[in-house]
Amino acid sequence: MKNTLFAILSLAVFVSACRSTRNTSRSTTASTAAASAQQQISLNIDLQNVVNDKVRVTVTAPAFKTDSIRFQFARIIPGTYAIADYGRYIDSFTALDKSGLVLPAVRRDSNTWVISNAARLAKISYLVNDTYDSEIGDVFMDESTTIFSPAGTNILAGKSFVLNMAGFAGYFTGMENIPYHVSIPHPQNLYGGTSMIDTDASTGKDVFNVSRFAELVDNPVMYAEPDTAMFNVQGMDVLLQVYSPKSKNISAQAFKADLQKMVVAQKNFLGSINNTKKYAVLLYITDNSKTDARGLGALEHNTSTTAVMGSSMKAKDLIDVISHEFFHTLTPLKVHSREIQDFNFSTPVLSQNLWMYEGVTEYFAHLFQVNQGLTNEDEFFKEMAKKIAESAYYDDTLSFTRMSKNVIQPDMKKQYANVYQKGALLGMCIDIIIREKSAGKKGILDVMGELSKEYGQDKPFDDQAIFAEFTRLSYPEIGAFLQKHVIGGTPVEYADYFARMGVTPVTIQVPEPTVFIIGQTPYIRPNIRKQIVAIFPDGKNKFMNSMGVLSNDVILEMNGQALDASQIMQVLMLGAGLDENQEVTMKVQRNGMPIELKANVKLNYKDAEGYKFTEAGKAALKDAWLKGKLAL
């Protein structure tokens, strides 16, 4: 999942959090033995009869021979690296026998109900509350209990439903691996976007069949009035679905060409490694109100991505996020450990290899762009330099394997986002070592391709063994690097690795992280009404000057998005990532009167460390690194 919380001075960190829910739980208990291999769980999710912002779910149970059975909701889902406790959002849980009589059901914790007289159990019924309208604070803060929006749920009766299935479906303990038959009655005017196959031809109901609970969690569905675009790339069908009720400039057709261009480039970059048949991108546009999603970013699945973005997003924002998510079709989809393959939804045992799952994936998300000509090498170097700068906000001596194994612990949670900064840089250094040792003939993508052939979607590796495997398929120097920098946590001298490719440090100009802070000087402050007020300690803010903002103006909206001082990180993010000369609109209150401002953006720039290719004698090696083709 890529989560877009920016590193803006010491106030915020730009976080990319990719989430993979391909993982399966394969625990076996006496309950499993009691169930026939032909049994299934039937689930009915009623989107037609929403009551008080709640959806009724009915579960038709398989047969049991035990005195009692546990029904559970996920405490955590793979890849989110945070405790969710989806059972918190369940109300009116009732267990019934065939005659409709209520059976005893005791709630043991947030996620678990123990049902007595299990041999008589016929159905379970419960109501689901959504998560979007109850988000509080930042999901990545130490004590946060908020579910990251792309992993959450939304219920807007007759308008839109976001069904991350962990929020609607549970499982009987020990029976995670029996099939699910899912029926979803829904308003006929709403389209259900998903990578699953609907086996019901009617317009008012969708029916999906999956092999087990993990597969159901791995396949979200978004319902909304149809706003879709579809295309095919090298045999892979791609669906883009958009829900954007207030920002009409954001639509599937508006983003189709850019998304298609990106997917073509990614497929070319991966070559035969990728054989995905269908991929769905489900894009939800939030208004960032107190009752809507606030966690901007994306959650990746085997064959789909759920993304939540703000109304000021541009096509390049979608591309930045989805390009990362799509590369998860390589790792951890095809290359992953048993901790991921056999994920325990109740008591997680995490993998130590986030450096690969997230770090290498993030590196590929940038490398493929220069490899396929979507950007140039100077822009690539600028992105890597930016990651070096942003990685300084984290503990540079922390073992990545230790952080990865313990990432849900409060002291590690705050370090997680470094997998998208230092993790990507570690991937880059590994790539450089392999290119140098092979005289440019081989790179990290080749190694990942070989690993995908040896393992694959249904064959996990031992969590400890991947370091030896990586070394075996490359060079002893890779083993030494992994031991020293990934396991040991020794800081990396990145300039030394750039130098191997003929790339040297230079001073470059980069925009300030947000237009609302220049250097250490803020140009906004909150007032007692929790409004954002413009302040002018000096005349150096080019953005404010170009917009015509005056001191003491109350900034009400920016690009149609309301500003709320209680959500200061989101305010700062609105001022981040703007392009020079991009048109921006603002609504301000001046002397009690509303005024609309519109202008082309002017940005403040600062000196930063960057990199540039300078050694002509290493041009061939540098080109093999950045332009080399996969050679399996």
CA 98 to CA 79: how far, in whole Å? Answer: 38
CA 26 to CA 177: how far, in whole Å? Answer: 7
Residue 286: is its pLDDT beyond 50? Answer: yes
Q: What domains can be seen in the chain, in order of their start residue?
A: 30-327 (2.60.40.3650), 345-502 (1.10.390.10), 513-603 (2.30.42.10)
The 10s digit of each residue's pLDDT in 479-527 is: 999 999 999 999 999 999 999 999 999 999 999 999 999 999 999 999 9
- Per-position b or e across 515-535, b if 16+ CB within 10 A of its CB: bbbbeeebbbeeeeeebbbbe
Among residues 151, 14, 22, 135, the alpha carbon closest in space to that of 82 is found at 151
CA 182 to CA 203: how far, in whole Å? Answer: 16
What is the arithmetic mean of pLDDT over 340-351?
Answer: 88
Confidence at 302, pLDDT banded by 50, 70, 90: confident
What is the per-residue pLDDT for 135? 87
What is the per-residue pLDDT for 38? 62
What is the per-residue pLDDT for 17? 38
Residues 6 or more apart whose Cβ sits within 8 Å of residue 544: 515, 523, 534, 536
What is the per-residue pLDDT for 562? 83
Secondary structure of 462-527 as H, E, C letters: CCCCHHHHHHHCCCHHHHHHHHHHHHCCCCCCHHHHHHHCCEEEEEEEEECCECCEECCEECEEEC
SS3 249: coil
Residue 381: is its pLDDT beyond 50? Answer: yes
Averaged pLDDT of the chain = 90
Confidence at 136, pLDDT banded by 50, 70, 90: confident
What is the per-residue pLDDT for 26? 31
CA 339 to CA 463: how far, in whole Å? Answer: 7
End-to-end CA distance of the chain: 29
CA 459 to CA 536: how far, in whole Å? Answer: 60
The 10s digit of each residue's pLDDT in 557-573 is: 998 888 888 878 778 88
Do residues 237 and 278 touch, judged by C-beta distance below 8 A?
yes
What is the per-residue pLDDT for 570? 77
What is the per-residue pLDDT for 10? 33
The 10s digit of each residue's pLDDT in 189-225 is: 999 999 999 999 999 999 999 999 999 999 999 999 9
For the entire predicted model, the pTM comes to 0.88
Report which listed range, 131-145, 409-423, 562-576, is most confident: 409-423
What is the per-residue pLDDT for 55? 98
Reported as type and span, the H/E element at residue 618 is: none
What is the arithmetic mean of pLDDT over 297-307?
Answer: 91
Confidence at 456, pLDDT banded by 50, 70, 90: confident
The 10s digit of each residue's pLDDT in 10-28 is: 333 322 334 333 333 333 3
CA 603 to CA 514: how far, in whole Å? Answer: 9
Among residues 207, 165, 157, the alpha carbon closest in space to that of 187 is found at 157
Q: What angle do CA 311, 312, 314 make, to 5 degrees?
A: 110
What's the burial of 36, exposed, middle or buried (CB within 10 Å: 0-12/13-18/19+)?
Answer: exposed
For 229-376, where are the alpha helices, taking DSSP H only? 252-270, 315-326, 338-341, 354, 361-371
What is the per-residue pLDDT for 246? 85
What is the per-residue pLDDT for 413? 85
274 against 33, higher pLDDT? 274
What is the per-residue pLDDT for 414? 87
